[in-house]
Structure 1
């Protein structure tokens, strides 16, 4: 008794692809794979050191256990989680094998977008912290305190846990029957759903709506808060005071641009059906995915006067 392929896919709506091939960058000679893997190891070690340092330093230094630095620590956890989710798998592509199990690929999809979503909302929370501190400095201790920030961060982590779980489960409702090649260094929602052998219009519409809300919702608030901050700063009569206030905001604006602009560009072009050459697209994804996580410790903490002063006293 035979079962035709359509009946099989209806019974097993998840997949009949046991493994996924992560193609990654194309055209790299095999003899350079070890060097490429070592390069990503170096990036991971830098990323891990910077973010772990923030967590340990703030935990040990009671004078830094304030709302701003609690947000820094949450951002460090998110960045470390994203780097740990992606970089070891990228290293394995060049050192061991490009093959990942179907289950492993979807697990990576979940955590990649979970940590990315948390980072986006944490940046908005940091903008809120700066907005209140600069525009309402007298009410800052009342409006922004440790308890409030812990509650907001907890809601953020838990809410995104549920949201991304539902999004990933929705992507698993269609059959995946080949091809099994993902044109990226790690599994992400767009790449994996492109392998489905069914109509993914509802899935694509849902994921695009959520992605744009998660991306542009915080971004619009960040823009609003920084416009208000700039207006408030321009009212400061002391030129040196204006300069110092702008100096505290400039690093965050730089990292926000690095995080949001290329990400929005890639999302929009993917939505309208315009695709870049594979290596260029992967390079852009690497830039907006890994660079913010790599530079956040330097920009947010090591350039913060309070942390620098504390380090000088310690060492």
Structure 2
């Protein structure tokens, strides 16, 4: 069949977990709704604190604000539709809406990977070059680098969407996923997807491995610097902060790399397990990031305690 802009598919149906029994639809939607609410609550609390407290207007927190915005937008792009699918059994999504969702799914994921790399660079400069930190990681420089991350992510992902949109979709319209993504969509095209999947795969791996390389290099240098600290307490404190961040980073990057590799080199396993892995690395980091990157820091904890005490005093009065 010749390729073109004409498509026989007018809408898609998001299946979610293909092996999930209908009796568990309510439970799954409730869990996802809980995750979404926790994600919104944790991230919105930090944004409110950041806006109100000028003491948080520092490079590290400016970087985290970008991560917060990306995480909230990613969760809002993906979760409401799959919650509605299981809660009200309304999984239909229009052709154009599916591609818009696909674009934003990959866009915000790309922004996340760049921002995580920028956070690792910030920590590298803070630990390894502490005397030059305030001259290198200024608020202005951080905002410029963050803007570059958002713009660069747009150009790469837009290319993927533009190449996938005009493919002939004339067969099945069921998406075996919890949201529209490039792999799930292009699999439904009535044509050889190799010319489209290989460039997308290369782009994804360049983004993921490029960001991961920066992160590993930064934390490798941080580890070496920490081991040189004579104070055991200072060493443990720094390692504790880095270890929690590395857990989230590992959860973000490793399953993504495995998912892209398995789909492009022919490794197949249970569809429900694969989707569960994707949802795990898609939904948990946005929910836990506020706790790991901000609410655990002594500065933010002091502000929260101060606000809590003021609220408690006003309530008693």
Instruction: Return the alpha-carbon distance in structure 1 between the equivalents of residues 300 and 232 of structure 2.
Output: 25
* Structure 1 residues without counterparts, runs of 5 or longer: 1-5
Does residue 27 (structure 1) correspond to residue 19 (structure 2)? The answer is yes
Per-residue CA deviations over 1:268-311 (Å, capped at 9, x if unaligned) read 11111112211101100011111111110111111111111222
Q: Report deviation, 1:14.
A: 4.7
Relative to structure 1, the CA distance from residue 167 to residue 14 in structure 2 (aligned partners, 3 Å threshold; closer, same or farther) is: farther
User: Hey, what does 1:62 align to over in structure 2?
Assistant: 54
Does residue 151 (structure 1) correspond to residue 144 (structure 2)? The answer is yes
Instruction: Return the alpha-carbon distance in structure 2 between the equivalents of residues 153 and 72 of structure 1.
Output: 10
User: Hey, what does 1:292 align to over in structure 2?
Assistant: 285
* 2:160 paired residue among 161, 167, 189: 167
Instruction: Return the alpha-carbon distance in structure 2 between the equivalents of residues 44 and 89 of structure 1.
Output: 12
TM-score normalised by length of structure 2: 0.94
Does residue 208 (structure 1) correspond to residue 210 (structure 2)? The answer is no
CA contact (8 A) 1:14 1:172 kept: no
CA contact (8 A) 2:14 2:175 kept: yes
Superposition pairs of residues 32-181 of structure 1, within 5 angstroms: 32-96=24-88, 97-181=90-174
User: Hey, what does 1:274 align to over in structure 2?
Assistant: 267
* Structure 2 residues without counterparts, runs of 5 or longer: 309-317
CA contact (8 A) 2:18 2:176 kept: no
| Number of matched pairs | 307
Per-residue CA deviations over 1:147-182 (Å, capped at 9, x if unaligned) read 000011111112212221121001123211111111
Instruction: Return the alpha-carbon distance in structure 1 between the equivalents of residues 267 and 177 of structure 2.
Output: 16
Decide which moves more: 28-37 or 257-266: 28-37
CA contact (8 A) 1:174 1:200 kept: no
User: Hey, what does 1:3 align to over in structure 2?
Assistant: none
Q: Report deviation, 1:102.
A: 1.1
CA contact (8 A) 2:156 2:203 kept: no
TM-score normalised by length of structure 1: 0.94
Q: Report deviation, 1:92.
A: 1.4
Instruction: Return the alpha-carbon distance in structure 1 between the equivalents of residues 302 and 87 of structure 2.
Output: 42
SS of equivalent to 2:13: strand
Decide which moves more: 278-287 or 266-275: 266-275
Q: Report the RMSD for the aligned CA atoms in angstroms.
A: 1.3
SS of equivalent to 2:198: helix
User: Hey, what does 1:308 align to over in structure 2?
Assistant: 301
Instruction: Return the alpha-carbon distance in structure 2 between the equivalents of residues 275 and 105 of structure 1.
Output: 24
